[in-house]
Structure 1
Amino acid sequence: MSDLMTPINQFYAVYNDNNLDLWDQAMADNYVGHVNADTIPSREIGKGFIGALLTAFPNIHYTVEDMVTEGNKVTSRWSATATHTGDLFGMPPTGKDVVMIGITIFRIENGQIAELWDVWDQAGMMAQLTAE
């Protein structure tokens, strides 16, 4: 179980500790991500996306609400809170607080995350950011 949890803990520490250096430790060289309908084809592209997210929301904090393991997979249901204080893919900072929810399935290979499937309410986050 600890072999499964080490990369999961590193993954969430990337966000909660705003420590992008942990990304390379947590993610396998052959990492592939599936986020909503998009495919993130490499660890480096994923790292760039997460870096942009951490710039937009430097105080982001994830709370794992539930976690289930089976074989080499770990599923987490999570919530996150953050304040939009940096550029978000061209959207200037709004200063607004957001709450996000989602479910992530991780596939662990040799002590690292080789693949993940992440479904989260991106539209809900954008609605919070654009609300008057």
Structure 2
Amino acid sequence: MSAEKQHIAEQWFMEYFTKGNTDVLDSLTAPDFVYHGRNGKSDRDKMKEFMNWFRSVFHGDEWILEDVIEQGDRLVVRYTGRMTYKGGWFDIPPENQQVRETGIIIFRFEEGKVKEVWCENSDAAILYELGALKPNTHEAF
């Protein structure tokens, strides 16, 4: 595995997510970086806005890179994050509650920078943990 790609993925989680260092995106991503999400495409500026919101809602997070798989210009990371909810997401009251996020993020690299990212995560599970989704209203398989 490329040490350079591994280092960038670690910086993504440790600097961008854990510390909320949005400036690190300028050094990790290509100028025409694209984030592909379920609401469409975003750029670096939107990712910085997201992180400012995220840091206001969740604190004390810790991230573990469970699996890191490289193939060609892609690096796939299966991750787990634990954090404390402080309020500010929908109308969910703050209770300093610990929550866990799991997900998979795919980085595509070009010339040593992250050119594109795709991410699938467990937002619904976090809402369930926070009590925003009623227990026993759906089946889990």
TM-score category, normalised to shorter length: 0.7 to 0.9
**What's the counterpart of residue 107 of structure 1?**
108
Superposed, which structure 2 residues align to 1:59-70 within 5 Å? 59-70=60-71
Secondary structure (helix, strand or coil) at the match of 2:59 reads coil
1:28 to 27, 30, 33: 30
Separation of aligned partners in 1, 2:55 and 2:128: 19
CA separation of 1:60 and 1:40: change in aligned 2, threshold 3 A: farther
- Give yes or no for contact 1:60–1:81 (8 Å, CA) kept in 2: yes
Amino acid at match of 1:2: A
Task: State the Cα distance separating 1:38 from its structure 2 match.
Answer: 2.2
2:102·2:121 contact (CA, 8 Å) conserved in 1?
A: yes
Runs of 4+ in 1 over 4 A off after TM superposition: 89-92
Q: How many Å apart are 1:20 and its aligned residue?
A: 2.5
Residue pair 1:28, 1:112 contacting (<8 A) in 2 also: yes
Between structure 1 and structure 2, the one with the greater Rg is: 2
The reply on whether 1:116 has 2:91 as its aligned counterpart is no
Q: CA 1:99–1:111 in structure 2 vs 1: closer, same or farther (change >3 Å)?
A: same
Give the 3-state SS of the residue equivalent to 2:35 in structure 1.
strand
- Where structure 1 has 5 or more consecutive residues not aligned to the other structure, the ranges are none
Aligned-partner SS, 2:26: helix
Is residue 2:12 matched to residue 1:11? yes
- Could you tell me how far 1:51 is from its partner in structure 2? 1.7
Compare relative contact order (CA 8 Å, sep 6+) and give the higher one, 1 or 2.
1
Identity %: 25
TM-score (norm 1): 0.87
Count of aligned pairs between the two proteins? 131
Q: CA deviation at 1:92?
A: 4.9
Matching residue of 1:38: 39
Q: Give the distance between the partners of 2:93 and 2:43, measured in 1 at CA.
A: 27
Deviates more, 1:120-129 or 1:89-98: 89-98
